[in-house]
Amino acid sequence: MEGRSYFLSINKVMLTKVVLFVLSAALCLLMGQIFFKRIWMGAVFIPLGMTAYRSGMKTIKLKRKLKYEDQFIDFLTSFSFALQAGFSSENAFKAAWSDISGVYERSEFIRHLGLIDKRLGNNERLEACFVEMAEEFGIEDMKEFAYIYEHAGKTGGNIRKIIQKTTDRMKEKHNLKREITTLVSGKRLEARLLSAMPVLIILYLQFSLGGFLDPLYSSGPGVMGMVICAVLYTVSIKWIGKIVDIPV
C-alpha cells in the first residue's frame, strides 16, 4: 500500500473517474433530449454534469473514509482490550489484527496492518508504524491516536489506561458522527428527489399530452424559454448541493 491513497488504489481511482465522467456526460445528453429534444443541446447542461461528477467523487471518498474509520475503531477497541488483558503493545497489536482480519479480510486497512506486523518482525517501533499509518490514511482519528500513543510511549505514562480512555472517547465521537451522517444522508436523499421533480414533470407532460410542449421545441421564443429554465434548474441544483453539503 506504500505510496497509495488510503481510499483507493491508483487503478481504481482512474476507473472510478472514468465511470463518473461517462455517467455525467450521459446525464448532459439526456437532459438535452428532455429539455430541447436535441441531444447536442446537452452542452447547456455541462455545468450540471460537472456538479454531478464532483458530487459523485465526494460521495465515494466519504463512504470509503467512513468504512476505514469503522475498521479503525474496531481495531482500536480490540487493541485496548488486549492491553487491558496484560498483553504487551506488540502482542496486543497482533491480537487485534487477528480479531478483525476475518471481518475485513480484503480491506486495504487490514493489508496495511499486515505490513506493520512484518515491520514489527524487523524490530521496528510500533509508535513509528502507527504514525506512518495515520499519515498514509489521512484520517483524523488515526492521527490523534498515533500522536497520543507516541507521546505516551515517550513519557512513560500508564499506556493501558491512556489507550482505554482514548478508545472510549473516540468510540463516542465516532458513534455521534455516524448518527449525524445518517441524518444528513436522509436530507441529501430528499434534496435529490426534489431536484428530479422538474424533469419528471416535463417527461409526464411529454408522454401524457402528446404535442402540448411542441411549441417549446420548435419556436425561437420557446427554445429561449427552455434555455432559461435549464439555466435556472442548473443553478438551483448547485444551490441545493451547497445547502445539504454539511461537513461531518
pLDDT, the chain, mean = 83
Of 108-117, 151-160, 212-221, the range with the highest mean pLDDT is: 108-117
For 88-129, the DSSP string reads -HHHHHHHHHHHHHTTSTT-HHHHHHHHHHHHHHTT--HHHH
What is the per-residue pLDDT across 64-100, written as a single tens digit (0 to 9) for each?
Answer: 888 888 999 999 999 999 988 888 888 999 999 988 9
| Better-scored residue on pLDDT, 188 or 22 | 22
Average pLDDT for 186-200:
85
Q: Percentage of residues in the chain with pLDDT exceeding 90? A: 9
Q: CA-CA distance, 56 to 58, in Å (whole number)? A: 5
Query: What is the reported pLDDT for 248?
Result: 62
* Grid cell in block for residue 62: 466519504
Residue 1 has pLDDT above 50, yes or no: no
Residue 121 has pLDDT above 50, yes or no: yes
Query: What is the reported pLDDT for 175?
Result: 87
Query: What is the reported pLDDT for 3?
Result: 42
Query: What is the reported pLDDT for 23?
Result: 92
Report pTM.
0.74
Query: What is the reported pLDDT for 101?
Result: 87
What is the per-residue pLDDT across 35-67, written as a single tens digit (0 to 9) for each?
Answer: 888 888 888 889 888 988 988 888 888 888 888
